[in-house]
Amino acid sequence: MYLYDKFRDLIGHGVVNIAVPWFLIVILLYLAVFTCSHNRSLRLRIRRLKQEISELEKISSQVEVSRKVLSSPDERLSAILNTLNTAGKWAGIGLGEVGIGDELERDGYYVLPISLVIKGNYNQIGRFINWIERCDNRIQFTQIRLETKAGRIVCELKGEFIIL
């Protein structure tokens, strides 16, 4: 306080009484600006994080869908039979003989050989194949054989179920 009084006498009461509080105000102003800009950067960071999370959530839901598409090893057979059965129902034909072979290695992936026999008319067979081609691209037919027996068409299909 002694030094402050000396300084005040030297400079003048008014100058000191005005300058000191306003100097403090300048410091407060600086702090206010600093906290304000920090607040702004935090808000921006929050916005970015929220955007990121919402994108990640989208990806997550896509992954969920993809998981279903790719199905786990335990569900492969049921997935194949389910697809064939649904296609048969949709085309209005019954499934005949269905054969699923052992896993074979291809160029960087594996396949399960499939063979099946269906009976119906030309349109029904076409609809059956079309449904599978549209709805499950993991089942890919490589060979087809149509034969007329006793007025009905017997269709032998050979293909693969792709395992990724």
> Which residues of the chain form contacts with other proteins (CB under 8 A)?
12-15, 17-18, 21-22, 24-25, 28-29, 31-32, 35-36, 38-39, 42-43, 45-46, 49-50, 52-53, 56-57, 59-60, 62-63, 66-67, 69-70, 108-109, 122-123, 125-127, 129-130, 133, 137-138, 140-148, 157, 162, 164
Determine what percent of the chain falls in helix, strand and coil, rounding each to the nearest 5.
60, 25, 15
Q: CB–CB of 119/96 below 8 Å?
A: yes
Instruction: Provide, rounded to whole angstroms, the least separation between the CB of residue 81 and other proteins.
Output: 20
96, amino acid identity:
G
Instruction: Provide, rounded to whole angstroms, the least separation between the CB of residue 76 and other proteins.
Output: 14
Instruction: Provide, rounded to whole angstroms, the least separation between the CB of residue 89 and other proteins.
Output: 17
Q: Are strands 95-100 and 139-149 parallel, antiparallel or unpaired?
A: unpaired
Instruction: Provide, rounded to whole angstroms, the least separation between the CB of residue 146 and other proteins.
Output: 4
For the chain, the farthest-separated pair of C-alpha atoms sits apart, in whole angstroms, at 125
Give the Cα-Cα-Cα angle 74, 80, 86 (nearest 5 degrees): 130
